[in-house]
Amino acid sequence: MSKSNNKTLILYFSLTGTTKEAAEYIKKETGADMLRLEPEKPYGDYDSAARRGDRERRNNIHPALKTNIPNLNKYQIILIGYPTWWQRPPMLIETLFDKYDFKGKTVIPFTTSMSTPIGPSEKYIRRMAQNDGATFKNGIRYDNNKREVRSWLNNLGLLK
């Protein structure tokens, strides 16, 4: 196992399970620890999530995050997974950066989406990471192309 792996943490949010699958695959290939991000108030079904998500992004609302990250100090590399919502990360990811300081760490995003590439949403992660004083590295849009994901992880030195 590469020595960075016990210092890597996967954080992900998933409404309908696709990003969860991506996170689980990345966990399997890296051996990293993993934590699911949950809002204080669940998003509910797809329609209510879409309505609420839309309101949050239009009004720059950062919804409360229920999840606590134990021992964040221990981790050097933070992989952040999320579904792309309206070309950007869900606002819960903004809350993650409000609540935690990633200074000195390396932040790397991954996303799932119907079709939007990672480019538009990763700009937000780059901004939040850099505002924290973290190093940002380019992420990937997971679309079940396991070979591509393995190659990305390999380039990052994260394959176990």
Ligand X SMILES: Cc1cc2nc3c(=O)[nH]c(=O)nc-3n(C[C@H](O)[C@H](O)[C@H](O)COP(=O)(O)O)c2cc1C
Kindly report the number of other CB atoms within 10 A of residue 21's CB atom. 15
Q: CA-CA distance, 52 to 136, in Å (whole number)?
A: 29
Tell me: does residue 17 bind ligand X (CB under 6 A). Answer: yes
Residues 6+ apart with CB under 8 A from 30: 5, 8, 10, 153, 158, 159, 160
Tell me: does residue 109 bind ligand X (CB under 6 A). Answer: no
Q: Which residue has the tokens 């950066």?
A: 97
**Of the candidate residues 30, 84, 95, 106, the single one contacting ligand X (CB under 6 A):** 84
Kindly report the number of other CB atoms within 10 A of residue 4's CB atom. 16
What is the closest distance, in whole angstroms, from the C-beta atom of residue 33 to ligand X in the complex? 19
What is the closest distance, in whole angstroms, from the C-beta atom of residue 76 to ligand X in the complex? 25
Q: Which is nearer to ligand X, 46 or 64 (CB)?
A: 46
Tell me: does residue 112 bind ligand X (CB under 6 A). Answer: yes
**Of the candidate residues 8, 9, 10, 19, the single one contacting ligand X (CB under 6 A):** 19
**Which parts of this chain interact with ligand X (CB under 6 A)?**
14-20, 46, 49-50, 53, 83-87, 112-116
